[in-house]
A = this chain, B = another copy of it.
Amino acid sequence: MERYSRQILFSPIGEKGQRTLQYKHALIVGAGALGSANADMLTRAGVGRLTIVDRDYVDWTNLQRQTLYSEEDAEKGWPKAVAAKRRLTAVNRDVHVEALVMDVQDESFTSLFEQQIDIMIDGTDNFETRFLLNDLSQKYRIPWIYGACVGSYGLSFTIIPEETPCFRCFVNHLPSYHLTCDNVGIISSVVQMVAAYQTTEALKILVGDVAKIRRSLVMFDVWQNEHRFLRVDKLKNEHCPSCGRDRTYPALHREKAKMSVLCGRDTVQIRHGHPFRITEMMEHMKTSGQQVHGNEYLLMTQLEGHRVVLFADGRMLVHGTKDVTFARSLYQKYFS
């Protein structure tokens, strides 16, 4: 407990709050910029258990803002969840960190909800996943904390089932066009500010200081010196299919696409349906003269001028294209 002395001195947490944190379980969905920053703060704060879910691996362009990762992680191409766990364990061995390299669209993600989860932190980079989190939050009555940012602009809102409007009450359809870090860029300070709001709300919820939970949406632009809190009560929609009286949880019943273009990534993801036997394949490709490298979680190679990554969990990424037909043809030719 000595290591948390400054946090225990903070009276809204105190010794009682600190002990409470040890028994809590936070689910962090996405280990990119927001996921990194939140996971680091919650680990240092001594939350007992963290589950980190991410489908991607560390890339050089991530290092500018994804604070858990170092050059070595990018060089080795570690999956983000794995690299995150390594750093977090070095920072606080008392926190039990579970690292899951998977796509949240997979069945195994939903099965996580069979256990107790006290809070979900939004570290995702797309609306589709947020609609899924939102429905899971409502179904299992788990608060979640929306956070998003692009450029120098950020938003955050705390969603408490049965109390606040839900994410679908705010954003009732998938925006046809939206900005991501990949088209308008991002600076690291806006990430840290969104994450600071998310972690603060998470701590309030975990220690049970419900009176202090922020009931407004916060919106800011750090470069433009804008900062506003906007009241949200009117948005609570009793006809909302996620949080209203007659719920259908639409995001839980969506057909999972076998192929998908990753948001603003110039990358197509294909689901193989079965795990890939990475080590065996890597061996085999090497002996046949193919340039390949990787680790026990994934394999990277070059096929017809495109970087291709296979994950042990059965996903294939084709970088440098948004053409699903082309990506499928590569997949069929080499791996199906």
Contacts and interface: CB of A to CB of B under 8 A. Distances in A.
A287 interface: no
A232 interface: no
Contact of A65 (B2, B44, B61): B44
Contacts of A41: 188-189, 192
A210 interface: no
A280 to B, nearest CB: 32
A274 interface: no
A85 to B, nearest CB: 13
A223 B227 contact: no
A257 interface: no
Chain A interface category by residue count = 35 or more
A67 B44 contact: yes
Contacts of A90: 70-72
Contact of A187 (B2, B7, B91, B192): B7
A116 to B, nearest CB: 24
A3 B223 contact: no
A61 B203 CA distance: 19
Contact of A185 (B10, B37, B227): B10
Nearest to A74: B3
A230 interface: no
A67 B204 CA distance: 21
A330 interface: no
Nearest to A70: B90
A47 to B, nearest CB: 12
Of the candidates A4, A63, A91, A189, the one having the most CB atoms from chain B within 10 angstroms of its own CB is A189
Classify the secondary structure of A's interface with B. Answer: helix
A115 interface: no
A12 to B, nearest CB: 6
Contacts of A71: 90-93
B44 A10 contact: no
A227 B224 contact: no
Contacts of A199: 188-189, 192
Interface in A190-204: 190, 192-193, 195-197, 199-200, 203-204
Nearest to A3: B60
A243 interface: no
A218 B220 CA distance: 13
A321 interface: no
Contacts of A67: 40, 44, 67
- Cβ-closest 10 pairs across A and B: A9-B185, A10-B185, A189-B196, A193-B196, A70-B90, A192-B196, A189-B200, A3-B60, A200-B222, A214-B225
Given A2-B60, A45-B64, 8 more contacts: A5-B185, A7-B186, A7-B187, A40-B67, A45-B188, A70-B87, A187-B203, A227-B227
Interface of A: 2-13, 37, 40-41, 44-46, 60-61, 63-65, 67, 69-72, 87, 90-93, 151-152, 181-190, 192-193, 195-197, 199-200, 203-204, 209, 212, 214, 216, 218, 222-225, 227, 229
12 contacts: A2-B60, A5-B61, A5-B185, A6-B61, A9-B185, A10-B185, A12-B152, A40-B67, A41-B188, A44-B67, A189-B195, A189-B200
